[in-house]
Homo-oligomer: A and B are copies of this chain.
Amino acid sequence: MEDFVFGKNSVIELLNNKKRNVSKIIILKGAKDSKTETIISLAKERGIVFQFVPKEKFTKFSKDAHQGVVAYVAPVEYTELEDFLNKKKDGYKRVVILDGIEDPHNVGAIIRSAVCAGLDAVILPSRRTSLINSTVEKSSMGAVNLIDIVMVNSLSSTIDILKDRDFWIIASEAEGKDNYFDIDYCGMNFALVMGGEHSGISSTIMKKADFKVKIPMSANFNSLNVSNAAAIIMFEAFKQLLKNKNL
């Protein structure tokens, strides 16, 4: 299955990632701005075909914010869990696990925040989650290419493996026992689990959590968007790491 990447910034990010396999790029005829120039020179450098096409060729992408640039790509290359775990890293590893998050904008935004907050991987189950499609990629602003994306069949057994490998499991939960800012994120490998928009974290996963953290909220409303909740927790961890210089 071929997939598409839309928009100038996302295509530049894509072309800068040598691991991604781009089959061709179409560019709106007459485009002359500097980002388009960058795209062309990167494409030349990598020997990727590009074509200038009239705007009718973009009709089928009209729902997407393509800005006159669309890249045809092979789907994101996933990293195997074992390969990720065996990668050498100075210091601890930090990952975020998405348990049943369905909205591709949320998946993309979480990947973007995970990269910004210096996490090492995003783990998704192959069911119950939005796959990494072009909407996810666009919402991530190309960040999908800057972090290991690990797709697994069973989150439950993945969590067992992570625990065996000395990861602590932190579940984000509205009824959690600890405030998210009372956890010390610095001295451990951790996997932060975020639950889906509707059903939250599944009960089998919840049982395996070492910490259940909540984001305390103002009394009259208690429902954050999941990508915002993920950002709040990941950046609390990142702030602690910065202050400890333990990156």
- Which residues of A line the B interface, CB within 8 A? 105, 109, 112-113, 115-118, 139, 141, 143, 146, 181, 215-218, 220-225, 227-229, 231-232, 235, 238-239, 242
Inter-chain contact A109/B232, CB cutoff 8 Å: no
Q: Give A117 to B222 CA distance when docked, in angstroms.
A: 9
By secondary structure, the A interface counts as helix
Q: What CA separation (Å) do A224 and B110 show in the bound complex?
A: 9
Per a CB cutoff under 8 Å, which of B113, B118, B223, B229 touches A224? B113
For A143, the chain B residues whose CB sits under 8 A away are 221, 223
Contact (Cβ within 8 A) A225 B112: yes
- A113-B216 in contact (CB<8A): no
CB contact between A227 and one of B181, B218, B227 (< 8 Å): that residue: B227
- Contact indicator A217/B112 (Cβ below 8 Å): no
Q: Which residues of B contact A215 (CB under 8 A)?
A: 116, 235
Q: Given the known inter-chain contacts A221-B143, A231-B231, A232-B232, please indicate yes or no for A239 contacting B113, CB distance below 8 A.
A: no
Within 8 Å by CB of A141, from B139, B223, B227, B239, lies B223
| A146-B221, A224-B231, A229-B231 given; 5 more Cβ-contact pairs under 8 Å | A109-B225, A116-B221, A215-B235, A231-B231, A232-B232
Complex alpha-carbon distance, A143 and B223, angstroms: 9
A199 shortest CB reach to chain B, Å: 14
Task: Give A220's nearest chain B residue, CB to CB.
Answer: B146
State A9–B238 Cα separation when bound (angstroms).
34
Min CB gap A104→B, angstroms: 12
- Name which residue of chain B comes closest to A141, CB basis: B223
Q: Known interface pairs A215-B235, A218-B118. Does A224 touch B105 (Cβ–Cβ under 8 Å)?
A: no
Given A141-B223, A221-B143, A242-B216, the answer on whether A228 and B115 have CB atoms closer than 8 Å is no
Q: Contact check: which of B113, B115, B225 meets A220 at CB < 8 Å?
A: B115
